[in-house]
Chains A and B, each alone.
Chain A
Amino acid sequence: MHRNDFVRQLSSPGGDRRPSRIMHIDIPLLLILIALCSIGLAVLYSASAESIFYVKRQATFMFIGLFAMIVIAQFQPRLWERWSIFIYLCGLLSLVAVLFFGVGAKGAQRWLDLGVTRFQPSELMKIAVPMTLASYLGKRHMPPRFKHVTIGVIATLIPVLLVARQPDLGTSLIIFSSGFFALFLAGLGKRYLLSTALLAMAAVPTLWFYVMYDYQKQRVLTLLSPEQDKLGAGWNIMQSTTAIGSGGLSGKGWTEGTQSQLNFLPESHTDFIIAVLAEEFGLIGVLGMLVLYLLLIGRCMIIALNAQSMFGRIMAGTISLTFFVYIFVNMGMVSGILPVVGAPLPFISYGGTAIVTLFLGFGILMAISTEPKRI
């Protein structure tokens, strides 16, 4: 590490002296995050049948995440740029380790048992892949040349395939889209875009027949006819659309949702929590939530535009776009327009690791947003 990574512009006489700058905190971003977390806890309280236990745990993880975010923000983006390849390689190694020594649940092998704690390498890759690509492409010519595109694609596909085999289709999709966004923002040429689109279309049958597990196919089939699968995912979709629809314009009121409160809605506190929000706060609640999310994404895009380096731009842009993918996939799946893959709703769904990972990403964004201007 470099000395300058820590001792930053504190001593520079012309520097910005506002406390937020000194602490490397982006105030609008922080405010939106706090708002999202608060709403998340309120909805979780209702969705978990008024369980203080879940709310306490979730709040604990949020505080850990906030703290981690602020710590991360103290490091110069340059540091992340330099170290990204190591983080990436460590992530890749541990993904391979998961393949052989991983522990897991319900047929999926996702965790490494480190003795004291368990660690999910695929979570790390959600940040390491865009970071490495941003670092690699940021140093190259814009738009990237064939060789750089190829390396970028390979660096994305290796973790994507490893995670898909665990199997964890949701996370694999997130990693894939982060790699794609990084390439796209780096100025990927039109010819590549066109061929990617064609390849994607050709890939669908291959995935269906050779890569996807039966239960994954079942998820897609369930989307087409939910009544087929009464104890599993189909039941979830039937119940979640009923919950959402019965919320109407203004909802049934906090903790008053009959669908969720009478336990018709499974997984109501994790992946399907948006159905609880939609039932209890109606379309107004859903729109309010979406506006908050868009504000967050908008703020991130502004940070991306103002970033001092190409690395900062690509990284910030990719994080904000990947964040949108989370939201789109989750809200789409719960409302029955996308197949059910395990995808939590950011900051609202119950789940510690996912929350901490999100905050880590925003920590890097804050580091980028408060980087001093290069002269």
Chain B
Amino acid sequence: MRDSAAFSDPARERIMFARRLLVTAVGTLLLTAVLVARYFDLQISRYEDFATQSNNNRVLVRPVAPSRGLIYDRNSKLIADNRPSYNLTIVPERSEDLEELLADLGEIINISERDIQRFRKRLKQRRPFAKTSLRFNLSEEERAVLAVNGHRLRGAETSARLKRFYPDGELFSHVVGYVGRINERESKTIEAIKYSGTDSIGKIGLEKFYEQQLLGDVGSEQVETNALGRVTRVLDKTGAVSGDNLTLYLDSNLQQVGLEAFRDKRGALVAIEIETGGVLAMISAPSYDPNLFVSGISQKNYDSLLYSQDRPLFDRAIRGQYPPGSTIKPMFGLIALQHNIVTPSYKIKDNGYFYFKGIERPWRDHNFARGGHGDGVDLAKAIVESCNIYFYGLGVKTGIDLLSDYGAQFGLGSTTGIDLPGEKRGIMPNRAWKKGSRGQSWFNGDTINTSIGQGFMLATPLQLAVMSARIASRGEVRTPQLVKAINGQPQPIIEAREEIKISDKHWDYVHRAMENVVHSNRGTARSISKGLTYKIAGKTGTAQAISIDAEDKYDSTKIAERQWDHALFIAFAPADDPKIAIGLIVENGEHGGSAAAPIARAVIDAYMQSDPSAAVAENQEP
């Protein structure tokens, strides 16, 4: 060939091209011949075989739904169950006249205009021959009527499914979450085969986080059908594999006690088992009934939840971000002790105001009107009586770099890594953060605000509980976890990072101060000490929900209840050998000592009453 010679003459280029095109044309014909040979082989040579096979082909493969994994609390109490539910489904291709069928069905069971509307909408999205649901949750009576009339209702079928059921209603809704119907957006991202047996998917909470484990593996069965497509015989079956069962660290009893303690208040509580990092209770109040969502919530119900002023759908425990207020004082005290910035013998005089050089406006203590905490305020007293003036000075001397570095070690400013979706990070401010988010340099005034947990600082109730647990355990760093075991296999305890390095004597000192918050007659939470048979260590906090001008005094009688201060409390118990740590907030509760601390006491009481050692032994999978 002359292929290798370079052409420049258009005529010769054309000849070359024509030759090449001819080669491809021949190739095309040859490959077409291969196709013809294959179709000839299938359709003519082996026609008899396939025709027979096709005539006998009344065999369909159908997916077999796996049952979703169950969820238990730490004492093997079932908190997410599956119950049978019956739907009326229709395959229009199998009916003689769809409209007539709908009319017939309407005569024997209750079918609303809305059911039909939704059915028609679903009909448009389905694939040919797919069963399309017309009515959900048929009653026993309705099923009986349908069965009796079955022969004249071609194309209609009742199908049984397992439906998720949450026996405790609103008790676990924010933690466990709920399943709901797969929506259009989700159907584009899931693997169609894995979900061929179900129409539900975990939407939020543990149901979403552990979706892969809970789902299980779909099975298949080969069934023989008659000409109308009704199943006459099951030929072969590959069983479905149930989803994994989850056992949680949660204790239903604590959860119950805690939610009741909130009554009509809004807020959140998280209780952590110190040894493992396991979450014993996680409450966001008010709550709602997750069962409403399982087979599609009505618009009316949904709107009333969504637009309620109390925001029941909002998971305050992991998504609510509040200024931690004075609850961070024990932690900041520890940092200052460790770095020798203050010593136990260091004392200040507090007359209610704190002046910083170059700034005219003073920072105040909450009791400035009564002249402050007076003479001889040391760190212990500053924690017990929650003295702001002491901490303003301590904060400035420690500096934001150390404060924020340790704050991060105690779990502030980043997600804790709990096994739930959608956790918020809060804010542990520092120079880099302020530059990045505000575009401004860090000022001493910012440090002063931070040193009493106000200013930019934000934390979730879960982060407060984690901080409390890390103080209680003398610096052991555990990631909070909800799932204790999967299918009876214990899950490892996660140590998030190295221990926080603070000397023992400092831990002793701060623990004692926190104990005195509850057990001394000057402590801000002394009201809960009455009748205690063990010791609680704690710290109260108050966080502004709105900003009050420095010249005005905060006066709850002058502002709306929704703008009252938030009440916070962190605690651990027993004080000398901590087992449980708590972080909680009561929105607009005003005072940590009076509004928040009693809820913590109720939960800790319940924990101490149930013998913890017995609880550990009982924890086997059913």
Contacts and interface: CB of A to CB of B under 8 A. Distances in A.
Contacts, number: 167
Interface string B1-14: 10110111000011
Contacts of A372: none
A317 B24 contact: yes
A53 interface: yes
* Interface core residue of A48, A181, A269, A283 (most chain B CB under 10 Å): A283
A332 B53 CA distance: 21
B216 to A, nearest CB: 15
A290 B35 CA distance: 9
A153 interface: no
B31 A269 contact: no
Interface stretch (B40-48, B153-161, B569-577): B40-48
A305 B15 CA distance: 9
B38 A258 contact: no
A328 B31 contact: yes
B46 to A, nearest CB: 5
B558 interface: no
Contacts of B24: 181, 184-185, 317, 321
Contact of A143 (B4, B57, B229): B4
Contacts of B31: 324, 328
A338 to B, nearest CB: 10
Contacts of A310: 13, 17
Contact of A304 (B7, B21, B57, B238): B21
A4 interface: no
Interface size bucket, A side?
A: 35 or more
Interface stretch (B75-83, B105-113, B142-150, B190-198): B190-198
A220 B61 CA distance: 22
Interface size bucket, B side?
A: 35 or more
Given A242-B57, A264-B57, A51 B189 contact: no
A3 interface: no
Contacts of B36: 287, 290
B32 interface: yes
B31 to A, nearest CB: 5
Contacts of A313: 14, 17
Contacts of A187: 3, 7, 16-17, 20
A190 B6 contact: no
Nearest to A263: B129
A250 to B, nearest CB: 10
Contacts of A304: 17, 21
B238 A230 contact: yes
Interface string B233-250: 000001000000000000
B488 to A, nearest CB: 29
A245 interface: yes
B123 to A, nearest CB: 9
B93 interface: yes
B63 interface: yes
B188 A105 contact: yes
B50 interface: yes
Interface in A88-135: 105-107
Contacts of A336: 38
B306 interface: no
A49 B17 contact: no
A259 B18 CA distance: 45
Given A49-B129, A231-B196, A262-B57, 10 more contacts: A106-B189, A185-B20, A185-B21, A243-B54, A245-B50, A246-B54, A247-B43, A258-B54, A286-B43, A310-B13
Nearest 8 pairs of A and B residues by beta carbon: A245-B50, A246-B54, A263-B129, A49-B128, A245-B42, A283-B43, A105-B188, A246-B50
20 contacts: A53-B124, A105-B188, A142-B16, A184-B24, A185-B21, A187-B20, A190-B1, A231-B196, A244-B39, A245-B46, A246-B54, A258-B54, A258-B57, A262-B57, A286-B43, A304-B17, A304-B21, A328-B35, A332-B35, A335-B39
Interface of B: 1, 3-4, 6-8, 13-14, 16-18, 20-21, 24-25, 28-29, 31-32, 34-36, 38-40, 42-44, 46-47, 49-51, 53-55, 57-58, 60-61, 63, 93, 124, 128-129, 188-193, 196, 218, 220, 222, 225, 229, 238
